[in-house]
Amino acid sequence: MTGYAARGSITINGVTKTKSSGYNETGCLTMMNAKQNVLKGLANKLRSHLEGCEGWIEWRDLGNEQRHNWLNKVAETLEWNELKGGKVATLHEISADEFRNTLVGSLV
């Protein structure tokens, strides 16, 4: 792997859901890109679990800049363990509620 990679998981009702990004031959272009891919994947897993909940903001309802800024803020808020000289990051253990609270809290 020549680029960057990240992995994270959340626990939803006792079931661990994991998302990885960049664990291939080339990896992601930046660490932030890898982290954002993980966050989007985990948000989608949580959203699919909570389907029908009121107040959920769809990705398509956010402008590109708003999505980018929001994902950056969430990525910087969460605790990541960086390994291999900063080339690999893993999200610390987090529950679905903690993850959701971070996502929603970062919107304000």
Three-state DSSP class for 55?
A: coil
Q: What percent of the chain has pLDDT over 70?
A: 88
Res. 106: pLDDT tops 90? no
With the C-alpha atoms ordered 90, 93, 99, 102, is the resulting torsion angle positive or negative?
Answer: negative
Three-state DSSP class for 54?
A: coil
The answer to whether the beta carbons of residues 93 and 60 sit under 8 Å apart is: no
Distances (CA, A) of 107 to 29, 72, 77: 26, 11, 12
- pLDDT, tens digit (0-9, with 9 covering 90-100), for 14-58: 888 899 999 999 999 999 999 988 988 888 777 777 655 556 566
Higher pLDDT, 60 or 19: 19
pLDDT of residue 28: 94
Distance CA 68, CA 95 (A): 23
Residues spanned by the domain of 32: 5-105
Total structural domains within the chain: 1
Q: pTM of the entire structure?
A: 0.76
